[in-house]
Every structure is written in C-alpha cells, then in structure tokens.
Chains A and B, each alone.
Chain A
Amino acid sequence: MRRSRTSRTLLTVLALAVALLWAFPVYWMLNSAFLPNVVLQSTTPTFLPFGGSVDNFRVVVTDPAFVQALAVSLVVTLTTVVAALVVAFLGALAISRFRFRGRASFVVALLLIQMLPAEGLFIAQYKMMSSLGLLNRSLGLAVLYTAAVVPFTIWMLRGFVAGVPADLEEAAMVDGLSRTRAFLKITFPLLAPGLVASGVYAFLQAWNEFTVALVVMTEEQARTLPLWLRGFVQASASRETDWGQVMAASTLVALPVIVFFLIVQGRMSSGLVGGAVKG
C-alpha cells in the first residue's frame, strides 16, 4: 500500500516513541544497575550510566545469599528441564505417532491442565509437600515444576515429532536398521531443534517461577532467585534501599532469560495461539 511520505514519517515517529516506552523499564534497570547509590539518591534522576561502574554487580555476586539462591535455582531448573524433556518426549511420541483409545481425552486433559492456575493449587501442594517432607527441597519443587511444564512441552514437541515423516524412519528400517536404531539415527537428530525449543521453554518457566516457590520454599536457605529478588522489595518497604544493587541483582536474574527467550520466542507463541494464526 502506498502512503504519503508525511504519514509514513508520522507512523515511524509514533512507532519509535512506543518502542522507547516499552523498552524503557528494561533500560532503566540496566542504567540504574551501573550507577552508585549516591547518584541514585539525588533528587534529579541520571538518565545515562556515564561514570558508572560494575560495583553494584560486584557486591551482589559476592553476596553469599545470591550464590545460595543461584545454586538452588540452577538445581531446580536443570532437574526440571531434563525431567520435562524425557517425560514430554515420550508423551509427544505417543500422541503424534499413534492413534490409541483415550488419545483425545489425554490431549484434552493436557490442554486443560496447562491452563490450571498455580494459585488454585498451591495450598494443596504445600500440604502435600509438607506431609512428604519435601518442603524446602529442590527435588520437591522440581517435581511440581515438571508437572506444570510437561503438558505444554508435549504440545510443543508433538508438532516437531509429527514434522519428521515416519516414512523416513521406515525407509531406514527397510535398509536394515532396527526400529530403535532408525529412530536414534534418523528421527532424533531431526528433533533436536524441537527439543532445544522445549527445553528452553521449561528453563524459562522454572527459572522465573515465583508463586509455587514462594509457598513451598519457606526457609531462607531454600530460596530460588526470584524469591531472593523479592527479599529486596520486602526490605524496601521499611528502609532506604540501595536501588543500584537491586537493579544489578535483577539484571543478573534477567540476563539469561532475555537471551534464551529471544531464541525460542517464535516457537512458543505459535504453540499458544496454534492454528488460529495460520487461518
């Protein structure tokens, strides 16, 4: 469509303004993370991090509480990713390669479960974990996370599994490979991008999750990174806060997420909206 030059310029300006507005909080986090507290405490804000330093990051990284939370988050997240991939892969194989009785109900159940709010379940999950002695244990949290991400992971993976033609595998079997070997040699490599995308999805969910962690990780030593971040907010309610440190801490938590997110974004949103976009 042709538009006049002025209207195109206007639209561009508008778009840049919106872009600026939306990215601003992210920028503000980075900016503040590099500024010393003295500068942040002044009455006029500083918009550029000139003269800043990485001191805030240094303080945060050497804080034993951060190291502990990082360790918990890493253990919980990695356990979730591995467990979710194994379980979801088998499930995706079942629903994309086989027509079995109960398949439709299984898929409906998955989709419905994926919508269940953690907030409608966490009290019961808390009681269950406490009676199993799994409160404040990374294993317990990882099991809850795995269950939470598996339904959508199956849904995401099933597209990838279906995308690998079964004929290819069968051709390899005709050429003399066993079913297992045909699968490992032919299908599995083709699935790698799907597994990466689903793995990153599970990573993002487990790394960012706050609600369930808040309920089942009650002790200070068991805090995940989001809970540790929240500790700063709680402290800010009662006393002056060193926002530079809080922003450095937030940046450290957000950085891996932003990187991974940009990798898989396309896959995730197409899974959510499904065929509605393709029309």
Chain B
Amino acid sequence: MSTTPAVGAPPAGRRGAGTPHKDRPTRPVGRRLPLLLILPTLVLLVVALGYPIGWQLVTSFREFGLLQQFGAPPAWVGLDNYRSLVTDPELWQVVVRSLVFCVVTAVLTVLVGGALAILMNALDRLPRLILQVSLLLAWAMPVVASMTVWIWIVDWRRGLLNWLLTRVGVEAAQGHNWLSQPLSFLAVACVIVVWMSVPFVALSIYAGLTQVSAEVIEAATIDGASFLQRLRHIILPLIAPVLSIVILLQLIWDLRVFTQIKVLQDAGSVANETNLLGTYVYQLGTGKGDFGSASAVSVFMLVLTVALSWYYVRSLMKEDS
C-alpha cells in the first residue's frame, strides 16, 4: 500500500531535478521535488491514521452497536453518544480514575527521576555508570515482558513480594491477592509504570544537569547557599526546559496507559472497577460492540492529547527553525 507512491516518485522527481540542473547546480531544484518526497508519508498517514480518525469522528455521531455490525444502516443520532456518555456515571468514574492515576504516576515518576538525576550528578564515575546501566536495563525491557515479571513478583501464591512481607512480619500478606482490590490493583500498576518510566526521566534530567556549570554551583556554595537554595534558585531554573518537557510527556503517556492495565487485568481482576480510559474504550468497542460510544470516548482522548501535546510540539518546533 505504502510502496506505490514511493516507487512512482523517483522518475518524476528526477525530471524535476534535471531541468534547472545546468545553470543552477544547487537548490532550488524543481518545486515539486520536496512535495514528491513527502508524498509517501502523506499517503501512509492519511490511509492508516487520517481515515480512522475521520471514521471515528463520524461514527461518534451515529448509533453504531451490534445491529449495525450485522448490516443495519447506522443512524445519525447527533450528540446522543456524547450526551449519554456525559450522563453516564461509569464514564466519569473512569475519567476521574484515569486523571488521578495519571497525575499521581507522573508526579511520582518525575520526583523519583529527578532525585536519581541529582544523585547521579553527585556520584563518582563508577557508581554512576552502574546506576545508569541498571536504569537502561529496566528501560529496555519490552512492556509485556516486564508485566509478566511483575505479575510473577506480586503473584499471590508464590510471589516474592508476599514472601518478603511475610518475612518482615506482615502476616496478612500471606496469600494476599494484590490484584483483586481496585485500589491495590492501581497501586501495583502505578509502581510498575513508575519503574518503567523513571529511567527516561532520570537520564533526561541528568543530561540537563550536566549542562549546569560546576563553577556557578561552587560559587553559590562558597557564598553560603544551602543545598535547597541552590536547587531552587540555580539548578531548577536552568533545567526548567527539560523538566517541563519531561513532565508533559509523562502526563501524556500516563494518560494513555493501556498495556500495563490490560495485562494486569488479564492476570485476574475485576475489569469494571479498574478500567482506565484506554481499557474502557477497548471494552466498549470489542467487548460490547458499541462503536458509537467507543468512538466518542476516543475522540475525547484524542482532543485531550492534542491539547496537552501542543506546548511540547511548539517547543520542538523552535528547535527545528
């Protein structure tokens, strides 16, 4: 599908490039060349993302349930899907749960990641290298593989966590199933997501910290600034750009968390009480076959993400120009 335009592009491109070639060997080469170069990208994105987004938008204004799956024409229902969602207490629970999960996880990630970055900055070379390699290992783990390990660790029968807790005297931990209660389920999910996300945050902030000149810090120390004062008045302002991007990315990523929740649910929990936005849409769409509502929630997620991403995209654009 994507190969057609790529194959078609070169001859036309060469034609465009050939004519002005003699008198002007450099750019501008035919005006059409750059457009031909981005054509494959455009076709691919329109087909694989643009069309689904459009379909989703349209379907979110339609009645599209099981009947329509079997051929009944989807009727226009205007804002009905949105209306019934907004008045649906379950959706609100999911939205609130997702937002709380997202904020708590992102804040924890950035706090831990920031602390580790400061630690790395203060370390000698060898221990720093060991810490970095260890973080990279955790970062490199494929999500599903990490999930199987963590599920094995928190397994209620033979898991390491319960053994450890029992050893230190928490008798109640023996045979306790952490995934069966919504709150402890989400706490487990939060720990796992923090574990996965901290390496990126820590290493990014550390990269920012290495740009802070040691002389400035030393001067401030000599002038009698305490660690907290140095952190607040010198380090934080200097690493503010990287910090804000990292926080933003964590918020966006933790809002869309799906794999971790889905796989934890598979390990045995009540899906209805642990759903976040992603798994909720999945359940609406593939479970109940209610594509109209699923599309409406998806549109909501997309709008939220685009709004959150705007600042990030702008800051990247600055770098581009």
Contacts and interface: CB of A to CB of B under 8 A. Distances in A.
Interface stretch (B76-84, B157-165, B182-190): B157-165
Nearest to A92: B37
Contact of B41 (A15, A87, A144, A236): A87
Interface string B265-279: 011100000000110
Q: Which of B218, B295, B312 has the most CB of A within 10 A?
A: B312
Contact of B266 (A120, A147, A230, A269): A230
Contacts of A261: 136, 139-140
Interface residues of B, number: 123
Given A14-B119, A112-B313, A115-B313, A25 B153 contact: yes
B148 A229 contact: yes
Contact of B160 (A20, A28, A93, A174): A28
Interface string A221-261: 00000100110111011101101001101110110011001
Given A16-B130, A243-B155, A98 B33 contact: yes
B319 A275 contact: yes
B55 A273 contact: no
Contacts of B139: 261, 265
Nearest to A107: B320
Interface stretch (B88-96, B103-111, B241-249): B241-249
Interface in B1-28: 1-3, 6, 9, 14, 17, 21, 25-28
A86 interface: yes
B56 A121 contact: yes
A45 B153 CA distance: 11
How many interface residues does chain A have, given as a range?
35 or more
A15 B128 contact: yes
Interface string B106-150: 000000000010011011100110110111111111111111111
Interface string B57-83: 001000000000000000000000000
Contacts of A124: 52-53, 55-56, 59, 295, 298
A8 interface: yes
Contacts of B152: 28, 32, 243, 246-247
Contact of B317 (A8, A40, A111, A119): A111
Q: Which of B134, B160, B252 has the most CB of A within 10 A?
A: B134
Interface string A180-214: 10000000000000000000000000011011001
A254 B142 contact: yes
Interface stretch (A49-57, A59-67, A125-133): A125-133
A147 B138 contact: no
A250 B27 contact: no
Interface string B22-53: 00011111010111011011001101110111
A18 B148 CA distance: 22
Classify the interface of chain A: helix, strand, loop or mixed.
helix
B103 to A, nearest CB: 17
B100 interface: no
A253 B149 CA distance: 12
A83 B3 CA distance: 8
Given A18-B131, A236-B151, A117 B301 contact: yes
Given A124-B298, A230-B144, A83 B277 contact: no
A116 B259 contact: no
B302 A1 contact: no
Nearest to A89: B37
By Cβ-Cβ distance, the 3 closest A-B pairs, closest first, are A147-B48, A124-B52, A119-B278
19 contacts: A12-B124, A22-B138, A25-B146, A25-B150, A41-B158, A94-B34, A112-B309, A116-B306, A118-B258, A122-B285, A146-B44, A211-B258, A229-B145, A230-B263, A240-B157, A250-B148, A265-B140, A273-B207, A273-B246
